[in-house]
Structure 1
Amino acid sequence: MDDVSRAIAGELQLMDPLVRASRERVAQLLDPEFVEVGASGRRSTYETMVAELADHPGSSPDGPRYEPSDMRGVVLAPGLVHLTFEAVLGERRTRHSSIWRMGDGSAGWRMYHHQATHVPPGAD
């Protein structure tokens, strides 16, 4: 499996409601220096996301699930991958950009940065 495929696998795990509901799994998939700018414009850190992701939309097995599409990646440098994709959660469509980096030792691939942008209805 190449680096882009590993980053995509991590991204898909973070969309899984069972993973999102597990602080332990989220902590393993996010880089300790993680920062997110969400579709709401809110900035979140590693600590905030590990503590709160279980309460975010898409984190309940009984609720709507993220439906990603057109996921692509490019290697920016050894151990650094940039992913882009669109996702639908219920009626809400968003565009995403994330940076994944290889952790030290056995840490594996972790999300370092994430940006989401809401796509208004009718926008290309």
Structure 2
Amino acid sequence: MDSATDDVNQAIAGELQLMDPHVRASRELASQLLDPQFVEVGGSGRRWTYEVMLAELPNHPGSSLSGPCFEPSDMSGVLLAPGLVHLTFETVLGERRTRHSSIWRKGDGAAGWRMYYHQATRVPPGVQ
């Protein structure tokens, strides 16, 4: 396996961890996967920052073991530059289907891969 494939696989692993209800419910675990400069534009159009996301993530859909969990599909990635990976994928959460784009960057030292940017777009019923 080459280093580009390994980098993409590590970003995918981080993305999947962020969909895990245990991780989403834990500020400590989620903070290890989000870059301190993290920004998200959610499916609602709302802009989220690192601190706001960490504070509110435990209350988001997909963060409870008793509720619906994310079902990801078609996840792929590309190495944009050394230490920078772009992922695209879809999820289903309950009745909601969403398309996602995220950028992961490799931190210094033990920081590992962290999500730097995320964009979600809800897919209306009937759209392919």
TM-score range, shorter chain: over 0.9
Counterpart check, 1:117 vs 2:126: no
What per-residue deviation string (whole Å, max 9, x for no partner) do you get for residues 11-57 of structure 1? 00000000000000111100000000000100000000111100000
Report how far residue 105 of structure 1 moved.
1.3
Give structure 1 stretches of 5+ with no counterpart.
none
Q: Distance in 1 between matches of 2:60 and 2:15?
A: 16
Q: Distance in 2 between matches of 1:42 and 1:25?
A: 23
Report how far residue 113 of structure 1 moved.
0.1
Q: What's the C-alpha RMSD, in Å, of the aligned pairs?
A: 0.7
Give identity over the alignment, percent: 79
Stretches of 4+ aligned residues off by more than 6 angstroms: none
| One-letter amino acid of the structure 2 residue matched with residue 10 of structure 1 | G
Report how far residue 104 of structure 1 moved.
1.3
Q: Tell me, what secondary structure is at the counterpart of 1:54?
A: helix
Report how far residue 92 of structure 1 moved.
0.2
Equivalent of residue 107 in structure 1, options 111, 122, 127: 111
Equivalent of residue 60 in structure 2, options 56, 62, 76: 56
Paired residues, what number?
A: 124
What's the TM-score once normalised by structure 1's chain length?
Answer: 0.99
